[in-house]
Amino acid sequence: MSEIAPPPSAADVLNAVVEITREAIAGATEASVADAVVRISASLTGADQGTLGMVRDDEVVIVAAVTPPRQPVGSHFPVGFGVAGWVAATGRPAEIQDVRQDKRYVALPYPEVRSFVGMPLESAGKLVGVLIMAAWRPGAFAPNTAGALAPLTEIAALLLSRTAVDHDLRHRLATLETSAHEGLAESLHELKSPLHAAAGFVDIVAEEKSGPLTEQQKDFLNTARAEFGRVKEALATLVEVGAAAAQRPLHLELVDASAVISESVQRFTGQALRGDVRLVAQNDLTAAPMRVDRAAIQQVLANFVQNALRVAPAGSEIVVAATSMPEWTCFSVADRGPGLPEGEPAQLFEPFQQGDSRSGARQAGNVGLGLSLSKKIVEQHQGMIWAESRGAGGSRFSFALPSVTRD
C-alpha cells in the first residue's frame, strides 16, 4: 500500500504563490492565470490530474486542465453536480480519500479517480471558481491538503477575479464603442444624402439653370454654395472615418439590381448637373436578385459615383450599370476622366489611397478610405471588386456579387 504523502510545506506553497504571481504578471489573462494555477498546484500536490472551473451564473465552466484532461476546457456542469459542484454550491473544501465511499462523487467515463481534493476560490467574499486535484489511487493526498494550499487558493482567486473584471470591462467598453460608432456612422449617412441633394439644387439655381437671378441673389447663393462645400468636405471625412470604425454586421434582404442602380443615379443627379455631367443608368432587367445589405451596397456605388464626378470633364457622361453574368450580378461606374495610371488599380483599394494621386493633389475632405471601405463591404458579401482604365479614355470601377434564385 502506498504511503500518504505529507501536505505541501509552507515554504513550497509560498514559492508556488510567487511563481503563479510571476506568471500572471507576464500574461494576465484568465486562461494564462488558470493554467498556471492548475499546473503548479498539480505539481505541488503530486496530483495525477488537475482542473480549474470558473463559477458563472449557475454553472461551473472548466477553463484549465492538466494531464490527462479529464474534462476538456470549455465543458461545464451545474453548480451542485458532483463533488466539484458541491464545493461551488457550499463554498467549502472537499477532501476524499476514496471517492467510492462518498455519495457526492459522480463517476464519469474517464480514467478512474480514487482520491480527490476540491478547493473553493473566493475573493472579497465571492466564490470565483473551484480548483480540483485528483489521483488514480486512494489516499493520495494528505489530510488538510486544502488547508495547506489556502494561501495559494487565495492568491489564485484574487488574480482570477481581477482578470474576470478586466475582461468584463473590456467587453463592455468594446460593446459601447461599437454601438457609438454604429450610431455615428448611421447618423452621418442619413445626413449625407439630403445635404448633397440640397447642395445640388442650390447649385442649379445659382448657375441660373432654372432662370435669371439678381446680383444680390447670386451673391447670397454663392455664399450658400461655399458653406455647403465646407460642410460637405467635413461630412465626407466624418462619414468615411465613422464607417471605418463601425464595422456593423450585414442586414441582408432580397434586392433587385435595377432598383439599386436607379436609386444611385437619382441620388446624384443634382451634383452631376452642377458639373455639367450626365448620369446614365443602364439596367439589365434580366439580372437575378441578390441577397445583400442594401444600404451597404448603395454606399459602395456612392463611393464609385462620387469618385467619377470628381474627375469627369464637363459635357461627359458617367454610366452606372448592372449586368447579369452566370451566378453573378456585376455593377460598374464608368467615366471619361483621365483614367488610371499603370500599376495603380490594385493600390486604390488600400486605405488612404486616392484615384487622383496621379496629380499629387488630395481632394479636400476626402481621407482616402472610400474605396478601402468599399472593398471590405464587397468582401463581406463574398464578392469581387476591381478597377480598370477604359480603352477610349477614362476608368471603370466594378464589383460583382453572388446572385440568388428567387423562391
* 164 and 298, same domain (yes or no): no
Q: Distance between CA 84 and CA 119 in Å, rounded? A: 8
CATH number at residue 17: 3.30.450.40
The continuous run of DSSP H or E covering 332 comes out as: strand 328-334
* 147 and 258, same domain (yes or no): no
pLDDT tens sequence across 248-294: 577 888 888 888 899 889 888 888 888 899 999 988 766 667 889 99
User: Is residue 144 one of the residues assigned to a domain?
Assistant: yes
* 111 and 254, same domain (yes or no): no
CATH number at residue 402: 3.30.565.10
The burial of 169, by beta-carbon neighbours within 10 Å (0-12 exposed, 13-18 middle, 19 or more buried), is given as exposed
User: Is residue 280 one of the residues assigned to a domain?
Assistant: yes
Domain-terminating residue out of 155, 171, 187: 171
The number of distinct structural domains making up the chain is 2
* 37 and 142, same domain (yes or no): yes
Q: Distance between CA 116 and CA 239 in Å, rounded? A: 60
Q: How far is CA 398 from CA 247, 269, 322, 334, in A?
A: 22, 20, 10, 9
Domain-terminating residue out of 171, 193, 217: 171
Residue closest to 79 by CA, chosen among 51, 103, 56, 100: 56
User: Is residue 377 one of the residues assigned to a domain?
Assistant: yes
Q: Distance between CA 257 and CA 283 in Å, rounded? A: 8
CA-based torsion, 141, 144, 148, 154: positive or negative? positive
Domain-terminating residue out of 171, 189, 216: 171
Mean per-residue pLDDT pooled into runs of 10, the chain (407 residues): 65 78 67 84 88 88 76 79 89 89 72 85 86 89 87 83 54 50 58 71 79 83 76 62 58 88 89 90 75 89 90 94 86 91 64 45 44 86 90 89 67
User: Is residue 122 one of the residues assigned to a domain?
Assistant: yes
Helix, coil or strand: residue 390: coil
* 145 and 262, same domain (yes or no): no
Q: Distance between CA 148 and CA 125 in Å, rounded? A: 20
Q: What range defines the domain where residue 288 resides?
A: 249-407
* 157 and 288, same domain (yes or no): no
At 186 the pLDDT is 59
Q: Which three cell numbers, joined as nine digits, stand for 300?
A: 459602395
At 369 the pLDDT is 59
pLDDT tens sequence across 269-280: 888 888 899 999
Q: What backbone torsions phi and psi does residue 323 show, to the nearest 5 degrees?
A: -130, 155
